[in-house]
């Protein structure tokens, strides 16, 4: 099964200190290593803050471009991991180990098999 | 007159078929889901086998091993269905698995080839419980799916028990089964490292099924009794298949010790009889004895948990020959441990009530009042009812009447409301007299 783990977090008001940033990066690197050791890693990235987002839609052939994310919520999409894991329990375990799970929340979404 | 006799005979047989299918449903479906790899396919196959049984059992008699007959017949019907269906090739691969599937030589060869796989193993049911009660499913979906698959209750029966429209319940079942498939919820008993969380979810679902049957004031009495019986049956399966899990045994003990009081719990007029007023001679001794033995054994494992503690408390109540003989100091001690294991306002309230029984109404009232700041208890009718009872015992009648009225305003069921109204009237009368 393939899963997308979406990391939603409240964006900090002030940027983290250099030390905090380094600790977090270490944790994420360790986490990525853990995924790779299991053969579950299928990719993953951190995203720029939601303030840099642009939302695009097309209605009646008309392109609508707006500033900002889908929805103005307290928690914003901050990053993701793509997973290749045997069962939902494995995906849940992987989600629980994401450093961001301790402050934010992780949505686990099975990826649809569109036969492509 | 041979015709009516025959009709009679087949009616008896139809009852028997229904009963046997109900009893065997959980085991059969659990094995079929493993063999067929699909919930819906398994359910359709069992429904087909039921029709076949209705045709054959009246003349052939009930098979010696009805469970095995259902599994075999259902599987053969599944193969027939798969053949007819357009996605034959795909489903056939599913059904055949490793066993070589030869469409031209079905019955004998195929049956023999898959004999090992076909044999119902106890683990099948455990696997199915863990799948139906996966924490990634909403509790109401888990409950419905568990009752439908393992309990063999029909969709209308479950809908009636939970007072939801049949279409809503059917939708719930469809969504749950779809999520199991799409999200990759495994059909397996989780490994040791993941067992704790998963077992918690299983026990919670069983506990909720029981409570729904025991506590609710609405709905058909028969269906509600069925829910309690079903919850006990499921708890027994889990306890028997997980001998090393004291909480599984604790839950079974708790359900038995609570269910034991059912015969004395409702008065002939439908009113609720409080624990201290119940005719203890009507309590079910076999259930009390089994429950007490279970909880004692579970506690000896030295891994105490909330179900074992609640069962131990229930056992102390059940073992008292009269309400006045209740060993309240022991109950207080157990509540204190329970409060440490799973802190919650409701447990704190129960502890406060025990304080009152051990140290007197004034201490009890003080303990209850110390919880008044908790916002969730302010809207909890048993908080006000407990407070009212202590005020009454202290002769503080007008305050007692007020507290009983608060409880009345918080949606008690009919039986509780009747009790509370009596107390309000008594307190008002005594208040005026005093």
Whole-number Å distance between alpha carbons of A17 and A19: 5
Facing residue for B136 by CB, picked from A1, A88, A112: A88
For residues A43-53, give the mean pLDDT: 92
Select from A4, A88, A95, A112 the residue whose CB has the most chain B CBs within 10 Å, as the one to mutate to test that interface: A88
In percent, how much of chain B has pLDDT > 90?
56
- pLDDT at residue B108 tops 60: no
pLDDT at B293: 98
For residues B92-102, give the mean pLDDT: 48
Whole-number Å distance between alpha carbons of B429 and B249: 48
pLDDT at A86: 94
Give the tens place of pLDDT for each residue, B35-88: 888 888 898 999 999 999 999 998 888 898 888 899 999 988 888 877 776 555
Q: Which two tokens stand for residue B208?
A: 């909720």
- pLDDT at residue B195 tops 70: yes
List chain B residues with CB under 8 Å of A92: 136
Whole-number Å distance between alpha carbons of B274 and B277: 5
* Alpha-carbon dihedral B375, B380, B381, B384, rounded to 10 degrees: -30
Whole-number Å distance between alpha carbons of B145 and B199: 17
Q: Produce one character per residue of B178-194: b if its CB has 16 or more CB atoms within 10 Å, e if not.
A: ebbeebbbbbebbeeee
Q: How close B183 gets to chain A, by Cα (Å)?
A: 5
Whole-number Å distance between alpha carbons of B77 and B42: 10
pLDDT at B350: 96
Q: pLDDT class for B214, splitting at 50, 70, 90?
A: confident
- pLDDT at residue B168 tops 50: yes
pLDDT at B120: 58
How high is the mean pLDDT of chain B? 86
Q: Which two tokens stand for residue B368?
A: 């209850």
Give the count of beta carbons closer than 10 Å to the beta carbon of residue B419.
Answer: 20
pLDDT at B106: 39
Question: A19-28, B77-86, B160-169, B189-198: which has the minimum mean pLDDT?
Answer: B77-86
ipTM of the complex: 0.85
Cα-only R_g, chain B: 26
pLDDT at B35: 85
- pLDDT at residue B301 tops 60: yes
pLDDT at B47: 92
Whole-number Å distance between alpha carbons of B143 and A112: 27
In percent, how much of chain A has pLDDT > 90?
84
Give the count of beta carbons closer than 10 Å to the beta carbon of residue B159.
Answer: 20
Whole-number Å distance between alpha carbons of B37 and B127: 12
pTM for this model (two decimals): 0.82
Give φ, ψ of A6 to 5 degrees: -100, 130
Contact B380, B349 (CB under 8 A): yes
**Residues in CB range of B49: below 8 A, 6 or more apart:** B28, B69, B70, B73, B74, B77
A68: three-class secondary structure by DSSP: coil
- Judged by a CB distance cut-off of 8 A, whether residue A86 touches chain B is yes
- pLDDT at residue B14 tops 60: yes
Q: Tell me which of B279 and B102 has the higher pLDDT.
A: B279
Question: A27-41, A73-87, B216-230, B341-355: which has the minimum mean pLDDT?
Answer: B216-230
pLDDT at B96: 54
Which chain A residue is nearest to residue B134, measuring alpha carbons? A89
Q: How close B195 gets to chain A, by Cα (Å)?
A: 11
Question: B45-54, B78-87, B144-153, B296-305: which has the minimum mean pLDDT?
Answer: B78-87
Positions of E strands within B41-158: none
Q: Produce one character per residue of B252-272: b if its CB has 16 or more CB atoms within 10 Å, e if not.
A: bbbbbbbbbbbebbeeeeeeb
A63: three-class secondary structure by DSSP: strand
- pLDDT at residue B391 tops 90: yes
Which residue is associated with the tokens 């201290």?
B276
Whole-number Å distance between alpha carbons of B176 and B119: 27
- Judged by a CB distance cut-off of 8 A, whether residue A93 touches chain B is yes
For residues B115-134, give the mean pLDDT: 78
Q: pLDDT class for B121, splitting at 50, 70, 90?
A: low
Please judge whether B184 and A91 are an interchain contact, meaning their C-beta atoms are less than 8 angstroms apart: yes
Q: Which two tokens stand for residue B156?
A: 């209308």
**Helix-strand-coil split of chain B, %, nearest 5:** 75, 0, 25
For residues A58-85, give the mean pLDDT: 92
Q: pLDDT class for B265, splitting at 50, 70, 90?
A: confident
Q: Which helix (H) or strand (E) holds B162?
A: none
Closest CA to B34 of B114, B127, B101: B127
Positions of E strands within B114-157: none
pLDDT at B11: 63
């Amino acid at each position: 099964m393939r899963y997308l783990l979406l990391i939603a977090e409240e964006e900090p008001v002030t940027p983290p200190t250099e030390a905090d940033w380094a600790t977090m990066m270490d944790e994420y690197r360790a986490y990525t290593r853990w995924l790779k050791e299991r053969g579950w890693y299928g990719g993953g990235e951190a995203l720029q803050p939601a303030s840099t987002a642009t939302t695009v839609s097309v209605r009646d052939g008309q392109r609508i471009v707006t500033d900002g994310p889908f929805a103005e919520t307290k928690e914003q999409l901050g990053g993701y991991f793509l997973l290749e894991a045997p069962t939902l329990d494995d995906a849940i375990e992987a989600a629980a180990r994401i450093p961001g799970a301790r402050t934010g929340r992780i949505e686990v979404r099975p990826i649809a098999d569109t036969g492509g | 007159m041979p015709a009516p006799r025959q009709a009679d005979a087949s009616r008896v047989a139809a009852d028997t078929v229904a009963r046997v299918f109900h009893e065997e449903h959980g085991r059969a479906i659990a094995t079929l889901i493993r063999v067929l790899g699909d919930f819906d396919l398994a359910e359709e196959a069992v429904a087909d086998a039921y029709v076949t049984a209705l045709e054959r059992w009246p003349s052939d008699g009930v098979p010696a091993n009805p469970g095995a007959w259902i599994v075999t017949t259902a599987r053969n019907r599944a193969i027939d269905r798969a053949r007819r269906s357009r996605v034959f090739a795909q489903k056939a691969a599913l059904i055949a698995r490793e066993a070589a599937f030869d469409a031209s030589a079905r019955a004998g060869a195929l049956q023999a080839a898959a004999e090992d796989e076909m044999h119902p193993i106890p683990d099948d049911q455990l696997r199915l419980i863990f799948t139906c009660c996966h924490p990634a499913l909403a509790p109401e979906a888990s409950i419905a799916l568990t009752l439908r698959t393992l309990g063999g209750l029909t969709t209308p029966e479950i809908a009636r028990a939970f007072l939801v429209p049949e279409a809503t319940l059917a939708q719930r079942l469809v969504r749950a089964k779809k999520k199991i498939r799409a999200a990759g919820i495994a059909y397996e008993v989780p490994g040791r490292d993941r067992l704790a969380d998963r077992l918690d979810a299983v026990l919670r679902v069983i506990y909720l099924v029981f409570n729904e049957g025991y506590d609710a004031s609405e709905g058909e009495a028969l269906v509600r009794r069925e829910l309690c019986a079903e919850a006990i049956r499921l708890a027994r399966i889990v306890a028997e298949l997980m001998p090393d899990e004291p909480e599984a045994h604790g839950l079974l003990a708790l359900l038995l010790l609570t269910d034991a009081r059912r015969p004395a719990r409702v008065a002939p007029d439908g009113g609720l009889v409080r624990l201290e007023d119940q005719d203890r001679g009507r309590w079910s001794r076999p259930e009390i004895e089994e429950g007490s033995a279970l909880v004692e054994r579970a506690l000896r494992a030295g891994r105490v948990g909330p179900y074992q503690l609640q069962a131990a408390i229930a056992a102390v109540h059940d073992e008292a020959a009269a309400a006045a003989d209740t060993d309240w100091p022991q109950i207080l001690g157990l509540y204190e441990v329970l409060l440490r294991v799973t802190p919650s306002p409701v447990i704190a309230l129960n502890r406060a009530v025990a304080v009152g029984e051990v140290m007197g109404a004034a201490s009890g009232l003080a303990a209850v009042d110390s919880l008044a700041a908790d916002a969730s208890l302010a809207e909890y009718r048993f908080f006000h009812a407990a407070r009212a009872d202590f005020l009454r015992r202290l002769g503080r009648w007008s305050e007692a009447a007020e507290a009983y009225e608060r409880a009345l305003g918080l949606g008690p069921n009919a039986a509780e409301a009747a009790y509370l109204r009596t107390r309000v009237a008594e307190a008002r009368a005594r208040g005026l007299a005093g």
